[in-house]
Structure 1
Amino acid sequence: MASTAPPRPRARPAHTQGSTHCAYTPNGLKLVTVGSNNTIRLYKIGSNDEPINIDDCQEQNISVDATDDFFVVGSEDGTVSLYSVPNASFDRFLWRCPLPIRDVALSPDSKWCAIASDELTVKLVRIDDNTQIRHLNEHGKPTKHLAFDTKGNTVTLACTDGVLYVYSLLSDQPELIRKIDGIIGALDIESDISSMIAWHPDGRAFAVPTPTRDIQVVSKNDWEKQRTFSKGHSGDVTALAWSPNGAMLASAGKDKKILLWETKTQSVIARLDYANVMQISWHPTENLASFTNSDGEVYIHPDFVPEQFSPLLKLGKQPAPFIHDPLLEVTNNIRRPDVNGVKPGVTRAQREGSVDSFDSLLDGPVAEDDDFVVDDDGAGYVLNANGKRPHAGDDISGNAASKRQHLDPQYHEAFQPGSTPWRGNRKYLCLNMIGFVWTVDQDGHNTVTVEFYDHEFHRDFHFTDTFLYDKACLTENGTLFSCPPKDDTPAIVFYRPHETWTNRAEWRTQLPEGEAVLAMSLSDSFVTLTTTANYARVYTLFGIPYRVYRPKSTPMVTCASWRDYVLTMGNGPIGADGNTRLLYTIENVKRDEICQNEDTVALPEGATVKSVFFSDMGDPCIYDSTGTLLTLLHWRQPSRASWVPLLDTTLLPRLASGRKHESYFPIAVADNKFHCIILKGGDQYPYFPRPLLSEFDFSVPLSSEPPKAKAVTSEDNEDGMPGPEDDESETRKLEQQYLLKGIAAAQLQDLIEATNSTASERVALSRLELEIDKTLLQYLAVECREGEDRGMRALELVELMRDRSGRMLEAAGKVAERYGRNLLGEKIREAAERRVGESNDY
C-alpha cells in the first residue's frame, strides 16, 4: 500500500521554460542543472546559499553527466562542452556536430563520453584526447537515449525506431551484439516521453519505459525480459532512476505523478504530485533526490523516501528483479560448502554482524566479497609460500602475523545435463534425442510442455504445474520431474510413465526437509538423484527406494545413467591452481558392482564439464568447455578406464575460415555421430523457438586441418594415380578411420566380454576388425606410392593388422608387388608366416 507523501519542497526557478536536466557528482557534493537559457547552475548540497552560476555556456542545453572533477553538457547547437567542477568554469569543447545533440553519457571510468545526436552515428570520444573517436553505426535510426553498463563493457542505445541496440566495447571497434525489439516504442526525437535506459546498480539488468506505461527490466545475460513495474502510471513515463543501492526505483509520468517502487516486490510505496518532470537524480548517500521539469524548475527533495521505507536505503546493494534470479537458484552455482562454520559468499561486513549487513543478507544482496577460505582453526590446509603448512600464528608466507590469509577453492558448479537456465520466463528442462521438455513461468504457476520427435509412438502433452518443476529427464518409457524445496514444502520428485496397463502408475515422493535435487537421471531401470545433502538416491521406475548412499567426492556435480549403470560426478581434492579435481564413479546398481571408483575426469586446466551422458551403445561421454567430446574406454574394468577424444569442435571445417563464430550445445552421441544444437551470436544455451538438431562425424584431433575426401585434381598423374596433395589428404582420412574404428572395436569388445553377448554383437565386432584391416590395407597402398624409403612405415602398418588367418597379410603382399616394392613384399611374407605360426601355437 502506498504511503503518504513527505512535506513538499519548494520549486527553485533555475532556468527559463523548456528542457531542464540535472546530475549529481558521484561524491554527492554538487548538483549540476542545465536548461534552455545560457546559464548552468551548481548547487552545493547541504547549503542554503545561492547556487554558483556558469554563464559562459551555450543555450538550449538538453543533457548532462557529471564526475567529481568535471561535467559534460550537450546542446541543441551540436556542441558538447566540458566544464570544471572545482573551478565552476568552462574548460573546452569536447565535440562539435552539425545536428542537435540528444544525449551524453560518461563511461564508468570517466575516460570516454558517448554522444547521441540527430546523426545516425553515435560517437565515443576520449575525454583527455578528443582525436580518439569510436563510431557506433550499425543502427539505422537516430538515437534518443544511451547508457553505459556499470562496468563500461557495453553501451545501449534507444533509437527512434523503437529498437534497443547493444554494442560491445571490449575491442577497439565497437560491435553490435544485440538488437532488442518489442520493448520500447517508436518515439519522435523531440518528444518528452522517455525511452531512457537505467542500469540497475548491480550491473545485471536495466530498466526502460514501455508504450503501455509500464517499466520493463531486461537482463544483461541474455537480453530477455524480466520483472515489470506495472499498473502504476496512467500517463506515459517521462523519467526514471534507481536508488543508489537498487532497492527502489523512482519514475515520473505525464499523469503528473512521481512514483516510488520497491524493487523486490515491484509495488508502489509512495506517490508524489509533481507535473512535467523530465529527469530524476538520486543523491549517492543521503535520503535526498532532485528532479527537474519542463518549466525550468529544479526540486531538491529531502526525505524523498518516506520514513517507514527509508531503511531500504541503508541496505547493501540489492539484486535486480529477475523472474528467476540465477543467484538465488537452488543449485551449486551459488552454493558453497561452509568453511569453519562460515558460509562462503558472505561479506566481511556481514560476518562482523552489523544490523545493516544482516538485513542486507536476508534481502538477498549481491555478494561482492566471496573470495575467502580462512584457516581459522590452524588445521594447516592453507600452505605458505614455501609449500608448507604454516605454524600457528604465522601468515601464509611463514611469517608471524595477526591476520589470516585466505584461499578460495573453486568448486565445479552442479548442472542438470540437457537443461538450460531460465531465460526470461522460459526454460528448457530437458533436451535429448527423444524430445524436449520446457516450462513457462505464469506468475504463480508454470506451464510444462513435453514434445516428442517421433509422434507415431508418443503423443505430446502439457499440464499446469503448481509444483514449479525446475528439472526433468525424458526417455522412451517416461518423464521424470523434480522441484526445489520452498518455505516449509520439501523437494518433490514426480515420475510419469508414457504407457501403463494399470489405472495409476505415476508417483511422487518427497525428499527430507531442506534437501534439494542437484541433478537427476532416468534409465530403463532406475531413477537416480544427487542432492544438496551429498546423497545419491536410487529408486526403481515405480518409486521404490532402492539405494541411498553418500559418494566420496562432494559437493556433488551431476549424474547420468544407462540401464543398470549409474555414473555420479563430484568435486574432489583441490589442485595446485585452487580448482577442485572432478571425480566420477560408475557402478552397476543392480549387481552392486563398482566399475570405476573415484577416478579423475580428464579436463584441461580451467576447463569444466558442460554435459555428461551415455551413448546409444551405453558408453559414458562428456563434453567440456573447450568444445571437446570424449568417451570412456575400458570403463567396465576397474582402474583401466581412459578418456579418449572423439571430436574437437574448434577444429571443424565450418570454422576453418575464421568468419563463422559459433558454439555447440551437446545433446547425444548416437549412430557414431555427435548430435548437438548450433549456437550463434555468443549464445551459451538454445532458446525459443526450438532450434533444429545438427550432427557431426567424429574426428579425433590430430591436426588443425581436417581430413578431406579424396578428389581428382589437375595434379593427378597421367596414369590416373593421385598426386602428392591427394596422398596427404587420403593419409589423414585413413588415420581417422583407423583410430575411430579402433575405439569402436574396443568398446564393443568390452561389452562382449562383460555381458552375455549376442551373435549379432560378435558378428559386428568381427566386421569392425575386418574394416580396420581394410583401412590399414588402403593406408599401405598410399605408403607404397610414396617410395621405397617408406618401407619400414609400410611394414609397421602390416604388423598392426588384426587378422590371424593370414589372408589380409597375403593381400598386403599383393599390394606391395603391385607397386614394385619387392623387398617390402618379402618382409610382409615373413610377417605372415610368423603370424600364422603364432596363431597355430595359440
Structure 2
Amino acid sequence: MATTVQTRVRGRPAHPPGPTFLCYTPNGRRLVTAGSNTVIRIYETGSTGEPVNVDDCQENNLAVAATNDFFIIGAEDGMVTMYSLETNQYEKMLVRCTLPIRDIALSPDGQWIAIASDELTVKIVSTKDPENTYFYIRDLYKPAKHVTYDPSGSYLTISCSDGVVYVYKLSTQEPQLVRKIEGMTRALETDSEVSSKVIWHPDGRAFAIPTPLREIQVISSADGEKQKMFTGEHTGDISALAWSPNGALLLTAGLDRKLVLWDTTTQKALAKYDYSNVTNIVWHPYQNLVSFSTSDGEIFIYQDFIPQQHISFLEKTLISAPLLGNSLSNGLDETRGALTNGTKHPDQVRRRKRTPDPVDDILGIDSDQDDDGFVEDDDGAGYTINGNGKRTNGHLDELDDDLRKRAVWSPSVHDAFQPGSTPWRGNRRYLCLNLIGFVWTVDQDANHHTVTVEFYDREFQRDFHFTDPYLYDKACLNDHGTLFSSPSSHDTPSIIYYRPHETWTARTDWKIKLPPGEEVTSIALSESYVVATTSTNYVRVYTLFGVPFRIFRTKSSPVVTCAAWRDYVLTMGNGPVGPDGTAKLLYTIENVRRDVVCQSEDVVALPDNGDIQTVFFSDNGDPCIYDSDGVLLILQHWRTPGQAKWVPLLDTRLLDRLASGRKEETYWPVAVAQEKFHCIILKGGDKYPYFPRPLLTEFSFQIPISSLPRNKKQTGDEMDEDEEENAVLANEGPRLEEAYIRHTILHSLAADLIESTHSTHTQRAELTTREIEIDKTLLQLLNVECREGEERGPKALEIAGLLRDSTGAGKMLEAARKIAGRYEQQQLVTKIEDLVNKRLTEGLEDL
C-alpha cells in the first residue's frame, strides 16, 4: 500500500489566483513560471533568494516552454512570444492566433514550437525563422487542448476537446497523420482543469493518457494498442501527470486533492501527497526535485520529493515503458530520431564504446560503432561521457549525496479497500452492493455528489435519494440502516454518518467527525455496531445510536479492511513480510460486546502473488473471502482460538459454464447466503459492475476435490445416449466425494454455531438432518465402490467406517451391509458385521 507522505512544503504565491504554468530548462538550472498577471518569474534551482521577474508580458498567460537559452509564452490574447534567458528581455513574437492559446510544446532540440489554440488548427513554427518556416495541421474537428512531442521530436500528439487524440509524423515535408485514437480520454472544454494530455515515456515506445475512469492508460506507439494501466488510486479526475526523467516513476495529480507517485514497472502506488488544485507538474532533469503549480497561483518547489525508501528509482538508467510482454521493439517506425530539420536529439548522437545494451536499441544507437570519445557539452546539461561509455555525475553539481546512497528496500503491502465498492467509471460508482440493495453516487462536478439507495424488496423499505455535500466515498447497507463515510477536505474532517431506516421513535441520523488528519479507510455495519478503521490504524466501534463503544489500535498495520456480524468484528491488516517481499495479510476476529478475541493476528490464506478481492460474513455469520484467483473460502472453527482454517467452497475457474473455453467472464462477489455464492457476472474484460444495475447470479458450492472428466455436453458438443450414460457413471464417484466433503464442512459450521449460541429447536433439528445427509451420501458412494468390483473392497470398508449413524440404532451400517450383500461381496459383508459388533461393544463400555 502506498504511504502517505506527511511532510508538506510551503507554497510560493508566484501569481494571482488562476491557471499557473511552469517548466524547467533542460539543464535544470532555472524554473520558469507564468500565470494570469503580466509578470514571468524565473527561479534559480537551489537558491533561496527571490526570483527574477520579467515584466511587461501579456496578461493571462496559459502556456510556457523553455530551452537553456530562451523561454516561450503563450497568452490568452493569442500571442506566442520569445524571451531571452540571458538578458531576461523580450526577443520576438513567433506567431499570433485569433483565439486564446491553450498549450505549447518545444521540440527536444528547441528548434520548433507546436501551438494549440481555440482555432481548428495546430501551428508548428520554427523558433529561428518563424515567418518563413512553419507547418499547419488543419484536419481537426475540434480545437486542440494539449500538444506533446515524442522524445525524438519526430512525432507530435494532439489532444482535442472532443476526446480524440491524433498522432502526426513530422519527419516529412508536411505532417502526416499516423494514428487517430478515439474513446480513450473524455471530451473537455479547452479551459478545463481536467487533463487529457498525452505524455510520452522517455524511451519513446509508449505514451500515457488519462482516462475518464481516473486511470492512466499506457498506449504502444508502435501499434496504438492498450498496454498496462495505472489504476485504483484517484477518486477525482486527473489534472496533471509526468514521467520522471528516466521513466522509472510516474507522478499524477487529481481533483481529489492527491498527488500519487507510481512505480512504472509494477503500476503500483509508492507514495501519496496531499495537495489540492494541482494543474501542472514538472520533474527536475537530474535532482530529487519536483515542482508543481496550482490554480490558486501558487507554485511548490519540493526538494527531496522522493521518499528515502524509494530513492533507488531515480538512480536507475532509462527504464522500459510498461508494455505488455515488455517488448523491446522500436516505436512507430525505423526512422525514429530524425527531426524535421535533419538534426537528432543529443541523447541519440552519444555513442558508447562498450558491449551492446538494450537501451541502445531504444535510442537507435549503434553500440558497435566507435567514436573519438568526444561529445561537446555546449549547453551545460551534463551530457559528457567517460571512458567507459557512461555519463559522468558532473551534472549533479552539489546535489545531495542521498542520490548516491544505497537504496532502502521497501516491502509491498496490501492496499486498503472497502468491500463491495467499485472505482469511478465516468461520473458514477457503486459504494455498496449486497443482497439488501445497493448504494451508488454520481459526481455532479459542482462540489457535491448525489447518493441513491435502492432496495430489492421495496415493500420492506422505500428507496431514497439525497444531495451529498460531503462527497461520501464508502457505504454499508443492511436491514437496519445505511452507513457512510467521507474523506477530509481542506475545511472539513473525515465524517462517519449513519442513517437508520426506522426506529420506534422519530428516525435519528447521526454524524461523527474524526480528529484532524485521521481518514476512514474502511467501514462495516452489523445488527449491533458501526465499525470504522482509520489511517491511524485505529478500530473505532460505535453503537447504532452513535455511542462510542470501543477504540483500539490494530497490531497489524497498515490496516486494510474490516467486516462485522452481530457482535463480531473482523479486521485485516499488513503483517510480517514473506519471502516474496509482500507483507502477509493478517486478520483478527473479536466479540466486541464481551471483549473477547476469537482469532488474533492469524494469516489470511491467499494464493502466491494473489490478493484479496473482498471479505464479508455469510448469512449464518461465518467469515468469507474471495481472492484474486476467483476462489471463495470460508473460515471454519473460527470461534475457537487457534483452530481456524480457510476452506474453499468454490473455485469459479472450474465452473461447468467455462468448460468449453468459449466464455471469458469473471465474477464480482456479493454474498454467501442459503448455501450459495451470489455474484455478478462480468464479461468483456470488465473488472467491476457498472450501470444499469446488473442482475445477480447464484452458484452452488462446489468444493475443488478433483478434476472431473470433461464430457462433450460440457464442452458444447452433441452426445448420443450411450456417451451421456457413460459420462454420468464416470462423474458419479467424484461428484459424491465432493458432496460428502461439502456436507461435512457445512455440518461443522452449523455445529460451531449451535455450540456457541443459544440454539433453537429448528437449528438442532437441521444439524441432525445434515448428519443424515452425510450418511446418505456415504451410502451412495459405497454403492459406487461395490459396483466397481471386489478390488475396491478396502475403500468400501473405509467408507462404511465413516458412517455417523446419528440415530444410534445401527440403521446406516445395516444398510451398508445390505449394499455389500447385493453385489455378493461376502468378505466385505463379514467385515462390516465386525464393525457393527465393535461399535456395539464400544457403546456398552461407554455405558
* Alignment TM-score, normalising by the size of structure 1: 0.61
Note the 1:74-93 alignment, pairs <5 A.
none
SS class of match (1:503) = coil
Q: C-alpha displacement at 1:538, in angstroms?
A: 0.6
**Partners of 1:337 and 1:555 within 8 A in 2:** no
Give the alignment partner of residue 816 of structure 1, picking from 814, 820, 823.
820
Matched, 1:661 2:664: yes
Which structure exhibits the higher relative contact order, with contacts defined as CA atoms closer than 8 Å and separated by 6 or more residues? 2
**Partners of 1:318 and 1:363 within 8 A in 2:** no
Q: Which amino acid in 1 is paired with 2:212?
A: V
What's the CA shift string for 1:64-102, capped at 9, x where partnerless? 99877795899xxxxxxxxxxxxxxxxxxxxxxxxxxx9
Q: C-alpha displacement at 1:841, in angstroms?
A: 2.5
Give the alignment partner of residue 737 of structure 1, picking from 705, 724, 739.
739
**Partners of 1:475 and 1:523 within 8 A in 2:** yes
SS class of match (1:732) = helix
Note the 1:713-724 alignment, pairs <5 A.
none
Question: Could you tell me how far apart the structure 2 residues matched to 1:487 and 1:65 are?
Answer: 33
Q: C-alpha displacement at 1:359, in angstroms?
A: 8.9
Q: Cα RMSD between the aligned structures?
A: 4.8
Note the 1:230-379 alignment, pairs <5 A.
264=239, 319=252, 327=260, 354=289, 356=291, 372=309
Give the alignment partner of residue 793 of structure 2, picking from 768, 777, 791.
791
Note the 1:245-644 alignment, pairs <5 A.
264=239, 319=252, 327=260, 354=289, 356=291, 372=309, 403-442=405-444, 443-644=446-647
Q: C-alpha displacement at 1:548, in angstroms?
A: 0.5
What is the aligned partner in structure 2 of residue 645 from structure 1?
A: 648
What is the aligned partner in structure 2 of residue 218 from structure 1?
A: 212
SS class of match (1:591) = coil
SS class of match (1:356) = strand
Q: C-alpha displacement at 1:784, in angstroms?
A: 1.1
Question: Could you tell me how far apart the structure 1 residues matched to 2:605 and 2:179 are?
Answer: 46
Q: C-alpha displacement at 1:369, in angstroms?
A: 6.2
What is the aligned partner in structure 1 of residue 331 from structure 2?
A: none
SS class of match (2:458) = coil
Q: C-alpha displacement at 1:696, in angstroms?
A: 0.8
Q: C-alpha displacement at 1:725, in angstroms?
A: 3.6
**Partners of 1:648 and 1:699 within 8 A in 2:** yes
Distance 1:363 1:648, change over 3 A: farther
What is the aligned partner in structure 1 of residue 179 from structure 2?
A: 146
Q: Which amino acid in 1 is paired with 2:424?
A: W
Question: Could you tell me how far apart the structure 2 residues matched to 1:642 and 1:661 are?
Answer: 31
Count of aligned pairs? 591
Question: Could you tell me how far apart the structure 2 residues matched to 1:496 and 1:544 are?
Answer: 14
Give the alignment partner of residue 771 of structure 1, picking from 773, 790, 800.
773
Q: Which amino acid in 1 is paired with 2:291?
A: D
Q: C-alpha displacement at 1:424, in angstroms?
A: 2.3
Question: Could you tell me how far apart the structure 1 residues matched to 2:411 and 2:760 are?
Answer: 48
Matched, 1:836 2:840: yes
Question: Could you tell me how far apart the structure 1 residues matched to 2:711 and 2:290 are?
Answer: 68
* Greater CA drift, 577-586 or 441-450: 441-450
What is the aligned partner in structure 1 of residue 220 from structure 2?
A: none
**Partners of 2:480 and 2:500 within 8 A in 1:** yes
Distance 1:371 1:822, change over 3 A: farther
SS class of match (2:634) = strand
SS class of match (1:372) = helix
Give the alignment partner of residue 780 of structure 1, picking from 779, 782, 799.
782
SS class of match (1:771) = helix
Percentage identity across aligned positions?
48
Q: C-alpha displacement at 1:206, in angstroms?
A: 4.6
Question: Could you tell me how far apart the structure 2 residues matched to 1:650 and 1:701 are?
Answer: 10
Q: C-alpha displacement at 1:705, in angstroms?
A: 3.9
What is the aligned partner in structure 2 of residue 129 from structure 1?
A: none
Matched, 1:702 2:700: no
Distance 1:606 1:220, change over 3 A: same
Question: Could you tell me how far apart the structure 1 residues matched to 2:258 and 2:730 are?
Answer: 53
Distance 1:703 1:24, change over 3 A: farther
Q: C-alpha displacement at 1:334, in angstroms?
A: 5.4
Question: Could you tell me how far apart the structure 1 residues matched to 2:499 and 2:269 are?
Answer: 30
Question: Could you tell me how far apart the structure 2 residues matched to 1:484 and 1:549 are?
Answer: 21
**Partners of 2:419 and 2:614 within 8 A in 1:** yes
Distance 1:204 1:622, change over 3 A: farther
Question: Could you tell me how far apart the structure 2 residues matched to 1:491 and 1:49 are?
Answer: 54
Q: C-alpha displacement at 1:372, in angstroms?
A: 3.0
What's the CA shift string for 1:733-773, capped at 9, x where partnerless? 11121111111001011112222222111111111011011
* Alignment TM-score, normalising by the size of structure 2: 0.61
Q: C-alpha displacement at 1:825, in angstroms?
A: 1.4
What's the CA shift string for 1:167-200, capped at 9, x where partnerless? xxxxxxxxxxxxx9x9699xxxxxxxxxx98535
SS class of match (2:820) = helix
**Partners of 1:206 and 1:219 within 8 A in 2:** no
**Partners of 1:652 and 1:706 within 8 A in 2:** no
What's the CA shift string for 1:31-76, capped at 9, x where partnerless? 799xxxxxxx99875x45998999xxxx9998999877795899xx
Q: C-alpha displacement at 1:356, in angstroms?
A: 3.3
SS class of match (1:433) = coil
Question: Could you tell me how far apart the structure 2 residues matched to 1:739 and 1:597 are?
Answer: 27
What is the aligned partner in structure 2 of residue 676 from structure 1?
A: 679
Q: Which runs of 5+ in 2 are unaligned?
A: 1-17, 19-35, 38-58, 60-74, 82-91, 96-103, 116-122, 141-146, 158-164, 190-194, 218-236, 263-267, 274-280, 313-402
What's the CA shift string for 1:409-457, capped at 9, x where partnerless? 1110001111111222212111111000111112221111111001111
What's the CA shift string for 1:247-304, capped at 9, x where partnerless? xxxxxxxxxxxxxxx99599xxxxxxxxxxxxxxxxx99xxxxxxxxxxxxxxxxxxx
**Partners of 2:238 and 2:255 within 8 A in 1:** no
**Partners of 1:666 and 1:676 within 8 A in 2:** yes
Distance 1:762 1:32, change over 3 A: closer
Distance 1:597 1:816, change over 3 A: same
Q: C-alpha displacement at 1:713, in angstroms?
A: 7.9
**Partners of 2:150 and 2:156 within 8 A in 1:** no
Question: Could you tell me how far apart the structure 1 residues matched to 2:124 and 2:722 are?
Answer: 82
Q: C-alpha displacement at 1:336, in angstroms?
A: 5.9
Q: C-alpha displacement at 1:835, in angstroms?
A: 2.1
Q: C-alpha displacement at 1:603, in angstroms?
A: 0.8
Q: C-alpha displacement at 1:497, in angstroms?
A: 0.9
Note the 1:108-187 alignment, pairs <5 A.
146-147=179-180, 156-157=181-182, 164=183
Question: Could you tell me how far apart the structure 1 residues matched to 2:712 and 2:816 are?
Answer: 23
Give the alignment partner of residue 810 of structure 2, picking from 782, 792, 806.
806
What is the aligned partner in structure 2 of residue 750 from structure 1?
A: 752
Q: Which amino acid in 2 is paired with 1:536?
A: V
* Greater CA drift, 449-458 or 820-829: 820-829
SS class of match (2:252) = coil
Q: Which amino acid in 1 is paired with 2:309?
A: F
SS class of match (1:692) = coil
SS class of match (2:447) = coil
Q: C-alpha displacement at 1:703, in angstroms?
A: 3.5
SS class of match (2:416) = coil
